[in-house]
Structure 1
């Protein structure tokens, strides 16, 4: 499953080369089909519950319960996946999700009380299949030590952002143009079919318990301090998404143009996608730890301007810059998992990061909503600023914990004894994500 790369010239980091990786398309395409519904779920719940109850407040509560439930249960699903295998977990999960969403839909259409809808939202969120982390784990298994690994992380980030842009648009069109329940029905169907198709791609599925082959003891992903630092950092990114959603909506209303909300958020998301595409096509000369900190510096500086903007054009420009700064931080954080967490725990690690984004988003929606209601959108925009500033402070203070670990296993047992002094050099090479024969400068 591992693709060995010995020099930085053997593989050029680019999307074309990435997608030509043997077996890649067999999990990339069904993985995308199974992830598209992720961006449809909460907005579909929001629109259906609002239609059924007539209350945006009730709809927001049910949507928030769904998001928090997903964030809390995602790492559990990741740990089970590392131990049991992707297919063994994914098949029952997508079946459970389709059942849970169907139950929530039926309750909403039957006029069930808020407490019943909130209760039904728990399994609907908890059973969201973690296909994104599973795809990232397959990339990490196939590209370990390859310069294409940062490209794969960028590709996955762009794919995620695409689902966040297309999913809500599709769900809104279905709920408003077809039937209020059409969004959730489509979400459940796509999750079920895409998930089963992805699970059927067994040839690219990472082996379970790789620690048995290398004499490593399985450990929870949270036992690795670098992941804990990244979780705090990703909470900040989630807060940017949540704070921007609420505050941009309020800002558009305040300037007398509510319809501009969709365009403004689209520009923000486009910035993220543009930066993500660019990130995957660049061979970086600085290490991922430094890139991560610089990404958060840029994100914090950009977010610090939002509260003072008073025109749609300027907000679009600033929002674009904020989006451009998210991708470097997000992509680099995902890339560092390969260095900080062993293969036996990577799916769990990826789900912790995905859950951190979702949890940060849910909390930011609540906090920014209250601040916006009380004081206006300017105060809502303080949420992304405060969250990213705290994340940056954490990264700077604990940056030593993000250093890549020296390999704990022998890669080639037939190598001459003279190679025993190599791990330190390989650790430095891994800091740039390239082959160990290339001289590098690390941070």
Structure 2
């Protein structure tokens, strides 16, 4: 079903993506702002723990921050689609940065009220600028050709993966010479500077609002969210992304349990680094190939690969084999998410692309949180192999359902 197409004599490369006019400037600005997201979670958790001396409060504040950030993402993306990034992003980023600054100030010294921290966290999470979905929408303007757009999305996905590795490392450097609240303040500065640089790009000035396109995706009179989720291609993309998130959320906890069971707790970092490395390699390799099948038809393949690799990882006899197995699982992560974003983008009208990307992004993050919550009670009751198999099941089931739906529609 999914096979490489014959390579053209001059196949587009990742360098060709970055050489596209305004691409490097726009992408670099977006990455600068998105680096904030790689730093803020760890910085805020450590800062809240320091000021309250309570892990429970820190966990609650982070849960509130994450919940409003994730579940209100489609609503914020709808504002981008309606008013355009140049009008909607600056006030959103300004309020978000100001609230992070308030959190940094509140956590700089001990004794801040947990209720105040919770209120600031909820409000800040609600204002998080959707820089990832916006950048993926801008890629469709910068590089409209299908093959070049696939490479752009792969590059974007790999870069985002690396940001979430680099961000915690930067936090580690910051807390070496300052309080954790400094990391929150730096996160605020990064998102504000990156967003302002992004909206100053010439390509952003050319992106306006297209309400007619947004209305074309579903029957007249239906609520906009219902219209979007009624699009089969977007639903399939969100389902696959949610399954990938479930696997990744479960994997975080399962790796900790596995390494502790084998008395190698310090190896957690190496296992997770192997996952990121595998994802980066898989994403770059997937983007470099010109696939014959459409993105919708290709959705189930990397999801099924991830599920199978997860199940095999549970059979690892020691940590060294687990590192290799998790790296192999990682190879399918970036291709699955890249394909999901591309399929979502292709399924909706031009005026709804940011919202479509936000729904996929929300599905990943919600799936990750749900995966961690669901697998936790199983760790003490089942063997590691059984836990890994259970965690792999959502990806395999979703791949089967999406594949059946895609094949069924192609026969009509």
For the superposition of Structure 1 and Structure 2, which TM-score range results when normalised by the shorter chain? 0.7 to 0.9
Give the drift of 1:380: 5.5
Is the Cα–Cα contact under 8 Å of residues 297 and 407 in structure 2 kept in the other structure?
A: no
How big is each residue's C-alpha offset from its partner over 1:201-234, in whole Å with a ceiling of 9 and x where there is no partner?
143445323355x897476433422112211211
SS at match of 1:209: coil
**Greater CA deviation, 263-272 or 10-19?**
10-19
2:3 maps to what in 1? none
1:99 maps to what in 2? 98
Give the drift of 1:11: 6.2
CA distance in 2, matches of 1:174, 1:377: 36
2:301 pairs, out of 285, 294, 299, with 294
TM-align CA RMSD: 2.8
Give the drift of 1:267: 0.6
Is the Cα–Cα contact under 8 Å of residues 45 and 184 in structure 1 kept in the other structure?
A: yes
CA distance in 2, matches of 1:171, 1:188: 13
1:15 maps to what in 2? 14
CA distance in 1, matches of 2:383, 2:115: 30
Give the drift of 1:382: 5.0
CA distance in 2, matches of 1:118, 1:373: 31
CA distance in 1, matches of 2:202, 2:24: 13
1:325 lines up with 2:324 in the alignment: no
Change (3 A) 1:249 1:49: farther
1:112 maps to what in 2? 112
Give the drift of 1:173: 3.0
Higher helix share: 2
Give the drift of 1:176: 4.8
1:147 lines up with 2:152 in the alignment: no
SS at match of 1:283: coil
Is the Cα–Cα contact under 8 Å of residues 242 and 361 in structure 1 kept in the other structure?
A: yes
Change (3 A) 1:258 1:178: farther
1:68 maps to what in 2? 67
Is the Cα–Cα contact under 8 Å of residues 139 and 152 in structure 1 kept in the other structure?
A: yes
2:221 maps to what in 1? none
1:278 maps to what in 2? 285
1:133 maps to what in 2? 133
**Greater CA deviation, 271-280 or 119-128?**
119-128
CA distance in 2, matches of 1:90, 1:255: 48
1:43 lines up with 2:50 in the alignment: no
Change (3 A) 1:369 1:44: farther
**Greater CA deviation, 295-304 or 242-251?**
242-251
**Greater CA deviation, 322-331 or 282-291?**
282-291
Change (3 A) 1:20 1:345: same
Unaligned runs of 5+ in 2: 1-5, 219-223
User: TM-score, normalised to structure 1's length?
Assistant: 0.82
Is the Cα–Cα contact under 8 Å of residues 240 and 299 in structure 2 kept in the other structure?
A: no
How big is each residue's C-alpha offset from its partner over 1:17-44, in whole Å with a ceiling of 9 and x where there is no partner?
1111122112011111011111112222
Equivalent residues in 2 for 1:28-427 (5 A)?
A: 28-108=27-107, 109-210=109-210, 212=212, 217=216, 220=224, 221-372=228-379, 381=388, 384-399=391-406
CA distance in 2, matches of 1:279, 1:124: 36
Change (3 A) 1:244 1:54: farther
User: TM-score, normalised to structure 2's length?
Assistant: 0.87
Unaligned runs of 5+ in 1: 1-6, 404-441
Change (3 A) 1:43 1:354: same
CA distance in 1, matches of 2:382, 2:214: 58
CA distance in 1, matches of 2:168, 2:297: 34
